[in-house]
Amino acid sequence: MSDDERVQVDVIVVGGGPAGLSAAYVLAREGLDVIVIERGETAGSKNVSGLLYGTVLNEMMPGFYERAPIERSIAKRSIGFLGDGVQASICFGTDEWSDPPYNNTFMVYRSQFDKWFAGEVEEADAALLEGMVVDGLIYEGEDEQRKAVGVNIRDDEDFYADVIILADGANALVTSEVFEQLNMRRGKEPQSYALGVKEIIGLPREKIEDRFGLENNEGMAMDLIGSPFEGLVGAGFIYTAKESLAIGFAAKVESIAKCGRTPNEIIDGFKQHPQVRRLIQGGELLEYSAHLIPEGGYRAVPELIGNGVMVVGDAAGLVNMSLYHEGSNLAMASGKLAGEVAAEAKQKGDFSKRTLAAYPEKLEGTFVMQDLKKYQGVPEILDHIPGVFAEYPARACRLLVDYFRVSERSKAVIQKEALKNFLRGLPKIQFGRDLLRARKLM
């Protein structure tokens, strides 16, 4: 490149999160000329998430967990129910989860993890331009022939590429404009969003290991539903890091607006629940962050390709919002596949929509689309059983507590009364229907 020639490369990736970095990694390893443009001062600097699922990354970089900045590998998980003054939880795990590959579940801080990942991508010879914002794409041609040929970088010059991979995350301002420009199909349903809010609370390592029953670098992931999330379509989490805890919740944006509490008040209420308070007690608030999560699922997934563009990760709404709430793995799987298809397109010298169609076709055969399809009813179910996050869990806790109440009354009486309390004020038919629906979340 001479000083006045225009910059033209094989692929430009917009966004340096897990999706964009995976695409860039694959492309760079295939020897393509690739540039990643990331808005953050460093990759991951403003990104938020809970757990990182590592199956796809482990395929790309076997044993990555030996080198990556991982806080703890998750050896124990629990699902907890919080009621007013009552609680219940199931905690599970196996010794296997303490050994590589650690059930592919890791607690990471994205500011460190993404930065490390970005470093590996640079090492593989992709160019990473951090602290630069893509304002939009550059197009050529009309109608069917119209294609994306480059990007506008804010306060800077335009760069050109044969393919542009859109990995700009949940907010996806760039992607959304491309849909208009290239006349790409939106999802069957409009995308909907959850707001994820997270605090990092510093605690000494020994305290964390004592409180959560952990050894060495083992970690614990707790998912919690119940009374702190009254009126919300959402749930909370607590994940252990080395010397801190990540605590937070994710809830449908509309439900937050409707519930009459601010995200701050919700997280404060969560932290004040007696069961939660004793876990975080004595800790010091280190950081607060919030981020959107697309949660419309399969039915909101748009067309993933256009002439000269592919959409990956959260920008494409590839998040599994069932009980598993996986986003990172789907982001990396889609990024990797898009990268592979772009490399093939380069070989053929054809970047039309027809060639790029191999990306959505192949994605259909992976866990990404299969899981999204399986759980396509989830958003609707959640909207229709408002009780699932607060009322039912609270009742279930109460049932257990009542069931195990020790007294001199006969067990038969105690059990009958427990059940009666559980069912009190509960419309039976609706409960039956909700139960059937809720099955689909598993």
Partner 1 sequence: MNSIVIVREIWDTRDLVGDVVGGDGELKGNLLTRFEPEDLNALEMALQIKDQQGGKVTVISIHPSRDVDVLREALYRDVDEAIRLDDPQFAALDTLGMAHLFSSAIQKVGDYQLVLTGISIPEGENAFLGNQIATLLGLPHASYVDALEGIDETGVTCKRGIEGGYETVRLPLPAVLVVGVALLKDDPRTPRTAKARLKLKHRKTAIPTWGSADLDASHLTPVTTLVKRDTVPQREIESQSIDPEDEAALKAMLNEWRSLR
Ligand X SMILES: Cc1cc2nc3c(=O)[nH]c(=O)nc-3n(C[C@H](O)[C@H](O)[C@H](O)COP(=O)(O)OP(=O)(O)OC[C@H]3O[C@@H](n4cnc5c(N)ncnc54)[C@H](O)[C@@H]3O)c2cc1C
Binding part of the chain for ligand X, among 23-31, 87-95, 141-149, 168-176 by CB under 6 A, reads 168-176
Binding part of the chain for partner 1, among 107-115, 334-342, 367-375, 394-402 by CB under 8 A, reads 107-115
| Smallest separation, CB 25 to partner 1 (Å) | 16
Binding part of the chain for partner 1, among 51-59, 90-98, 109-117, 427-435 by CB under 8 A, reads 109-117
Q: Which of 68, 167, 232, 311 binds ligand X (CB under 6 A)?
A: 167
Q: Which of 78, 89, 129, 437 binds partner 1 (CB under 8 A)?
A: 129
Among partner 1, ligand X, none, partner that 50 touches (CB below 5 to 8 angstroms by kind): ligand X
Q: Which of 13, 18, 382, 418 binds ligand X (CB under 6 A)?
A: 18
Of 31, 120, 132, 114, which is closest to residue 70 (Cα–Cα)? 114
Binding part of the chain for ligand X, among 116-124, 185-193, 202-210, 309-317 by CB under 6 A, reads 309-317
CB 87 within 8 A of CB 80: yes
Should residue 421 be labelled a site residue for partner 1 when binding is judged by CB under 8 A? no
Q: How far is CA 345 from CA 55, 128, 195, 341, 434, in A?
A: 26, 22, 37, 6, 48
Among ligand X, partner 1, none, partner that 143 touches (CB below 5 to 8 angstroms by kind): none
Should residue 47 be labelled a site residue for ligand X when binding is judged by CB under 6 A? yes
Q: Which of 196, 296, 306, 317 binds ligand X (CB under 6 A)?
A: 196
Among ligand X, partner 1, none, partner that 40 touches (CB below 5 to 8 angstroms by kind): ligand X
Residue with tokens 């990471």: 108
Among ligand X, partner 1, none, partner that 49 touches (CB below 5 to 8 angstroms by kind): ligand X
Q: What is the 3-state secondary structure (H, E, C) of the chain?
A: CCCCCCCEEEEEEECCCHHHHHHHHHHHHCCCCEEEEECCCCCCCCCCCCEEECHHHHHHCCCHHHCCCCCEEEEEEEEEEECCCCEEEEEEECHHHHCCCHHHEEECCHHHHHHHHHHHHHHCCCEEEECCCEEEEEEECCHHHCEEEEEEECCCCEEEEEEEEECCCCCCHHHHHHHHHCCCCCCCCCCCEEEEEEEEEECCHHHHHHHHCCCCCEEEEEEEEEHHHCCCCEEEEEEECCCEEEEEEEEEHHHHHHHCCCHHHHHHHHHHCHHHHHHHCCCEEEEEEEEEEECCCHHHCCCCEECCEEECHHHHCCCECCCCCECHHHHHHHHHHHHHHHHHHHHHCCCCHHHHCHHHHHHHCCHHHHHHHHCCCHHHHHHHCHHHHCHHHHHHHHHHHHHCCCCCCCHHHHHHHHHHHHHCCCCHHHHHHHHHHHHHHC
Q: Taking phi first (over 0 means left), then psi (-120 to 50 degrees means alpha), and beta for anything else, what does residue 31 get?
A: left
| Smallest separation, CB 326 to ligand X (Å) | 4
| 267 versus 319: smaller Cβ distance to partner 1 | 267
Should residue 106 be labelled a site residue for partner 1 when binding is judged by CB under 8 A? no
Residues 278-307 that bind partner 1 (CB under 8 A): 284-288
Q: Which of 116, 159, 237, 298 binds partner 1 (CB under 8 A)?
A: 159
| Smallest separation, CB 436 to ligand X (Å) | 27
Residues 395-414 that bind partner 1 (CB under 8 A): none
Q: Per-residue x/- mask for ligand X, residues 219 to 258, rule CB under 6 A?
A: -----------------------------x-x--------
Q: Which of 93, 101, 187, 202 binds partner 1 (CB under 8 A)?
A: 202
Should residue 150 be labelled a site residue for ligand X when binding is judged by CB under 6 A? no
CB 166 within 8 A of CB 15: yes
Among partner 1, ligand X, none, partner that 115 touches (CB below 5 to 8 angstroms by kind): partner 1
- Binding residues vs ligand X (CB under 6 A): 14-20, 37-40, 46-51, 53, 133-134, 167-170, 173-174, 196, 198, 248, 250, 291, 293, 313-315, 319, 325-329, 331
- Binding residues vs partner 1 (CB under 8 A): 1, 3, 7, 35, 37, 41-42, 45, 109, 111-112, 115, 122, 127-129, 131-132, 153, 155-157, 159, 202, 284-288
